[in-house]
């Protein structure tokens, strides 16, 4: 026979833990976005919340089963189960690991002559990753990890290709920092959703026979690995352009 008083207490305890973990998640996300905590500390906290939440979720689910049978503490244990399931699910869906191979955070479609950032430089906070390209080693790492990243070749003449390139960047929600149709250069910044990380993007449009060649470069301001985000961004852009 389950002690009803103890069951009600357990329901309250798991709900309190669930709310505490929810508050910790909010702090990690909001704190990182607003500079209240370092993003590394925020990632560590979220990982710990996910691990603790998974364990407590099991306890909450068991408590809910007994609560439903005895009709005691149902609301508390049900609320705890829902909150914990949402938190653990969020952590799982947003869990990301670097692609196999060397760490990389600077991706370009032109490994021989990568586009060079200019207009975004004054916007980059102190301590950001350098804008200078890493050279042959970085190029070799990209070839090994992201061979799919290639320039966009189009039959559009340069002026039309530039207009199309700018439109696609705007459609993707990038903040356009600079654009110059005569040089074929566009510089932009994309801000990630949760942690508000800012990645710098450059688009370069050049004549290619009767058409044009479009090269991109996407560079993370922080971190040793971009978790594949820069390559994914360039591939998404190429798909939308075509």
Summarised one tens digit per residue, pLDDT across range 206-231 is 999 999 999 999 999 887 777 888 99
| Closest among 145, 109, 146, 114 to 131, alpha carbons compared | 114
**Residues 29, 30, 35, 38: is their CA dihedral positive or negative?**
negative
Summarised one tens digit per residue, pLDDT across range 82-123 is 988 988 887 776 665 556 667 889 999 999 999 999 999 998
What percent of the chain lies above the pLDDT cut of 70? 89
**Sequence-separated (6 or more) residues with CB below 8 Å from residue 139:** 111, 112
pLDDT over 70 at 78, yes or no: yes
Kind and range of the H or E run holding 66 = helix 39-70
Q: What is the pTM of this model?
A: 0.70
**CA–CA distance, 235 with 200 (Å, rounded to integer):** 15
**CA–CA distance, 142 with 199 (Å, rounded to integer):** 17
Summarised one tens digit per residue, pLDDT across range 32-52 is 666 666 666 677 777 788 888
pLDDT over 50 at 57, yes or no: yes
Spell out a b/e string for 168-192, using b for 16 or more CB atoms within 10 Å of the CB, else e: bbeeeebeebebeeeebbbbbbbee
Kind and range of the H or E run holding 78 = helix 74-93
**CA–CA distance, 228 with 103 (Å, rounded to integer):** 10
pLDDT over 60 at 1, yes or no: no
CATH 2.40.10.120 fits 106-241, yes or no: no
- Going from N- to C-terminal start, the domains of the chain cover 4-93, 106-241
């Amino acid at each position: 026979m389950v002690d009803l008083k103890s069951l009600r207490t357990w329901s309250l305890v798991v709900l309190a833990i669930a709310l505490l973990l929810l508050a910790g998640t909010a702090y990690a996300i909001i704190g990182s976005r607003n500079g209240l905590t370092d993003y590394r500390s925020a990632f560590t906290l979220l990982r710990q919340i996910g691990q603790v939440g998974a364990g407590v979720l099991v306890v909450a689910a068991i408590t809910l089963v007994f609560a439903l049978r005895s009709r005691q503490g149902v609301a508390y244990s049900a609320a705890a189960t829902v909150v914990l399931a949402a938190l653990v699910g969020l952590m799982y869906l947003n869990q990301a690991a670097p692609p196999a191979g060397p760490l990389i955070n600077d991706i370009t479609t032109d490994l021989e002559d990568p586009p060079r950032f200019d207009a975004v430089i004054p916007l980059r906070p102190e301590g950001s990753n350098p804008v200078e390209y890493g050279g042959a080693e970085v190029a070799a790492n990209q070839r090994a990890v992201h061979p799919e990243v290639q320039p966009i070749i189009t039959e559009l003449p340069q002026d039309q290709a530039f207009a199309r390139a700018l439109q696609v960047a705007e459609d993707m929600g990038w903040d356009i920092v600079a654009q110059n149709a005569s040089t074929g250069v566009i510089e932009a910044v994309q801000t990630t959703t949760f942690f508000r990380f800012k990645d710098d993007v450059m688009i370069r449009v050049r004549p290619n026979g009767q058409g044009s060649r479009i090269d991109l470069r996407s560079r993370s301001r922080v971190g040793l690995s971009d978790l594949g985000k820069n390559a994914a961004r360039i591939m998404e852009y190429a798909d939308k352009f075509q």
